[in-house]
Amino acid sequence: MFIIAGILVGFVAFFLLRYLAGGIYTIDQNERGVKTIFGRAERIGNSTTLDDPISESLAPEEKERYSYPQVRVIMPGGPYFKWPWEHIYKISVATSTLNMAFDPEDPTANMGGRILEAVTKDQLNTGLTGQIRYRVSDRNLYAYIFGVRNPIAHVMGYFVAVLRERIAKFEAPRRPDMSEAEISAADAAMADNASAHGISINDLRKNLRDLNEHMDRECQSSSARYGMVLDASLITGIDPPAEVESALAAINTAHNQVSSDISLAQAAADQKIVQSRRAVEIETLKAQAEVEPLRRLAAQLTGLKKTSAGAMPAYVRSVRLSLFNQAQQVFLEAKHD
């Protein structure tokens, strides 16, 4: 009897410790939790990720493919309790940094995860280095936990595919202030130099910021696709093959020299234009200074003529007498009968 009672007490104690006390859990500050009941995630009605703004970046044909149910997210805190038939998935949502050349399925790929290779539009194989920051999206935990077997592998594969496509088609953006003539000249120069090595690599090096911004825009849909958010991509280096490095240096030197000559010529032309404008202003002021007394005299004579009919002859006679007083010799016209 005592043995049976001891067995019952032991079983009850084991049940309490194993299933009741063991059912108490907490969620850390940088974690989110999802509960499954008999293997089915606890959902929020019939809502899907298509009802969330994270799916706005998806193309229309992708929305049907990447439609996941919205699950109830357990926020940090506790203690919480779960029954034995329930299971809690704890997912870290902290931001992590990863080398962009890292391959989760093959760590030896891409030179051991150090350099990512891509082909430029001028058919050169170049190496890219940089990092990406990512985190798990707490607005699409279903895709991260249940929808994709290895989410980071899918995200890295998507990122690399978009990056290589961009590298292969990259062209230097035109300045917004370029005229139609400058655009036509740039297109002609690009067509003439299409076979020159390293042109697109130079363009890529000069426009790293535009390239990073493009990658950020294109990867906005990763949250709706795989339940992971790419916070930022930072491409820090573009290294061409060793055999074209000297050619690139020569092209850059020539380009810098031409740019310097153009800047000097433009500065000299601007200086001459300014000097010409000032010379015109000075001559204009001199002419105005000479004309102004004549205009005032004309105005005075007009007013004098209006006063009386004999005023003008008297004024002319007075001026002639004044001139005679100042003259040393006077020549008069003789009249012959």
How far is it, in rounded angstroms, from Cα 285 to Cα 277? 12
Compute the radius of gyration of the chain from its Cα atoms: 43
Answer whether residue 272 is part of any domain: no
Helices (H), the chain: 2-15, 60-63, 109-113, 141-142, 151-169, 180-192, 199-206, 208-218, 222-226, 242-307, 311-326
CB neighbours (10 Å) of residue 219?
24
Task: Confirm whether 77 is domain-assigned.
Answer: yes
Q: What is the CATH number of the domain that holds 226?
A: 3.30.479.30
d(CA 45, CA 71): 9
Residue 293 inside a domain? The answer is no
Number of domains in the chain: 1
Residue 86 lies in a domain: yes
Instruction: Show the tokens assigned to 45.
Output: 């009605």
Let me know if residue 247 belongs to a domain: no
- Please check whether residue 296 lies inside any domain of the structure: no
Tens-of-pLDDT digits for all 337 residues of the chain? 667 766 776 666 666 666 666 678 899 999 999 999 998 999 998 899 998 888 888 888 888 888 999 999 999 987 888 888 889 999 999 998 888 888 888 888 888 888 888 888 777 778 888 888 889 988 899 999 998 888 888 888 888 888 888 888 877 666 555 455 554 544 544 444 444 444 567 777 778 888 888 888 888 888 888 888 888 778 888 776 665 556 556 666 666 777 777 888 888 888 888 888 888 888 888 888 888 887 887 777 777 777 776 777 777 777 777 777 777 777 777 666 5
Going by C-beta distance under 8 Å and a sequence separation of 6 or more, which residues neighbour residue 324?
330
pLDDT of residue 192: 47
Domain, as residue range, for 128: 2-177+192-240
308 occurs within a structural domain: no
Flag whether 264 is in a domain: no
Residues 6+ apart with CB under 8 A from 85: 37, 38
DSSP characters over 64-81: TTT--EEEPEEPSEEEEE
